[in-house]
């Protein structure tokens, strides 16, 4: 079974580069399951229902997010659906370790047309991020829930976190218990993709799908002014040098163990 995970889609440049490359990548790699992080897909800040629909129309089975998930208010209602609902809004997930009562869900369990079951978990780190519950123990709870509900063995974790150490730690913590732990949020792809000894695919950060002539997606001049003066100012999505960053994972659908992970970066 082949899984493609696309890193943080940033603004219109990110959406365009993904739209350009995705069909070819899906076809040549016979991708069964597509997960896209969409937290920056609306102008770099948040996601709207219309953009979520756009990503679903490109073939996404699940859209993950992160700290920017609430930047666009329209998404609150779209994600506020019953847990067993089959509307598309149920497939946009936010970090599971957000405060309880937050709109939406941090786990999606699904089944492909082939009958293959899968689960996607979204988590947020606690180091240099706004406060949230413990992502380690939250995952323990969710794995128990998955075992009791769908029994899915193919389990993908999007860990939206700032520090390399916290991401590496969660990778080792979940080794042998999930198919993949993939980092997002820093928007810089790391060259450490590997299969851990227990059969879990890991990459510290998959990288942004967006404009790389930028400071992690934002116009260079605007970020420079912030660093040089400390004064508030608007941040807008850059456009130049777009790349699509993704991780391609091959796994055994019956056991959920990963065999291979490949780092992908495609540009114009
Ligand atoms: Fe992001
Ligand atoms: Fe983020």
Q: Tell me the CA–centroid distance for residue 120 and ligand 1, in Å.
A: 18
- Tell me the pLDDT band of 2, cut-offs 50, 70 and 90: very high
162 alpha carbon, closest ligand: 2
Residue of 16, 21, 61, 68 with catalytic role: 68
- Cα of 36 from ligand 1 centre, angstroms: 11
Total domains, the chain: 1
Tally of residues, the chain: 268
Q: Which two tokens stand for residue 27?
A: 């076809």
How many angstroms separate the alpha carbon of residue 225 from the centre of ligand 2? 21
Cα of 95 vs centre of ligand 1, distance in Å, is 13
Proximal ligand: closest to the CA of 124: 2
Other residues' Cβ atoms within 10 Å of the Cβ of residue 267 = 12
- Residue-wise pLDDT for 201-236, tens only, equals 999 999 999 999 999 999 999 999 999 999 999 999
| Nearest partner of 36 among 92, 111, 113, judged by Cα | 92
- Share of residues in the chain with pLDDT > 90 (%): 100
Q: Please state the residue numbers annotated as binding site for Fe cation.
A: 8, 39-40, 67, 160, 185, 187
Residue 182: pLDDT band with limits 50, 70, 90: very high
CA–CA separation, 60 and 250 (whole Å): 17
45 CA to middle of ligand 1, Å? 8
- Residue 33: its H or E element: strand 33-37
- Taking the alpha carbons of 160, 126, 200, 152 in that order, is the dihedral positive or negative? negative
Contacts for 42-45 with beta carbons within 8 Å, 24 or more apart? 42/11, 42/71, 42/72, 43/11, 43/12, 43/236, 43/237, 44/10, 44/11, 44/210, 44/217, 44/218, 44/235, 44/236, 44/237, 45/71, 45/72, 45/235
Q: How confident is the model at residue 92 (pLDDT cuts 50, 70, 90)?
A: very high
Establish whether 259 is a catalytic residue. Answer: no
With a cut of 90, say whether residue 268 has pLDDT above it.
no
The span from the CA of 112 to the CA of 45, in Å, is 30
**What is the separation, in whole angstroms, between the first and last Cα of the chain?**
28
The CATH number of the domain where 252 resides is what? 3.60.21.10
Domain that residue 29 falls in: 2-267
Express each pLDDT in 118-169 by its tens digit: 999 999 999 999 999 999 999 999 999 999 999 999 999 999 999 999 999 9
**Dihedral angle computed from the Cα positions of residues 64, 244, 248 and 142, in that order, rounded to the nearest 10 degrees:** -10
Q: Identify the CA nearest to 185 among candidates 247, 124, 104.
A: 124
H or E element at residue 260: strand 258-267
Annotated binding site: 8, 39-40, 67, 160, 185, 187
Which residues is 3 bridged to in the sheet? 33, 249
Helices vs. strands in the chain: H and E counts, helices first: 6, 12
Ligand nearest to the CA of 206: 1
Cβ distance 43 to 236 under 8 Å?
A: yes
Assign 187 a pLDDT band (cuts: 50, 70, 90).
very high
**Residues 211, 13: contact at Cβ < 8 Å?**
yes
Distance in Å, CA 69 to ligand 2 centroid: 8
Token pair, residue 12, equals 């219109």
Nearest ligand to the CA atom of 188:
1
Radius of gyration of the chain from Cα atoms? 17
């Amino acid at each position: 079974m082949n899984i493609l995970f696309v890193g943080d889609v940033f603004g219109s440049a990110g959406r365009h580069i993904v739209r350009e490359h995705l069909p070819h990548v899906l076809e040549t790699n016979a991708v069964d399951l597509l997960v896209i992080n969409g937290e920056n897909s609306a102008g770099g800040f948040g996601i709207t229902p219309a953009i979520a629909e756009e990503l679903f129309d490109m073939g996404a089975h699940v859209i993950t997010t992160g700290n920017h998930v609430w930047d666009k208010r329209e998404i609150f209602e779209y994600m506020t659906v019953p847990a067993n609902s089959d509307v598309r809004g149920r497939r946009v997930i936010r970090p599971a370790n957000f405060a309880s009562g937050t709109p939406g869900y941090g786990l999606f369990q699904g089944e492909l047309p082939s009958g293959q079951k899968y689960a996607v978990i979204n988590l947020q780190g606690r180091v240099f991020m706004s406060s949230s519950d413990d992502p380690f123990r939250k995952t323990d709870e969710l794995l128990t829930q998955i075992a009791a509900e769908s029994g899915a063995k193919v389990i993908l974790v999007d860990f939206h976190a700032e520090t390399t150490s916290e991401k590496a730690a969660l990778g080792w913590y979940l080794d042998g218990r999930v198919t993949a732990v993939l980092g997002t949020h820093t928007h810089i792809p790391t060259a450490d993709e590997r299969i851990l000894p227990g059969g879990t695919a890991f990459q510290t950060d998959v990288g942004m799908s967006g404009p790389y002539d930028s400071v992690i997606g934002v116009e260079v001049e605007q970020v420079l002014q912030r660093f040089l003066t400390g004064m508030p100012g608007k941040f807008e999505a850059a456009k130049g040098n777009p790349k699509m960053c993704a991780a391609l994972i091959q796994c055994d659908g019956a056991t959920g163990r990963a065999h291979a992970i490949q780092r992908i970066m495609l540009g114009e």
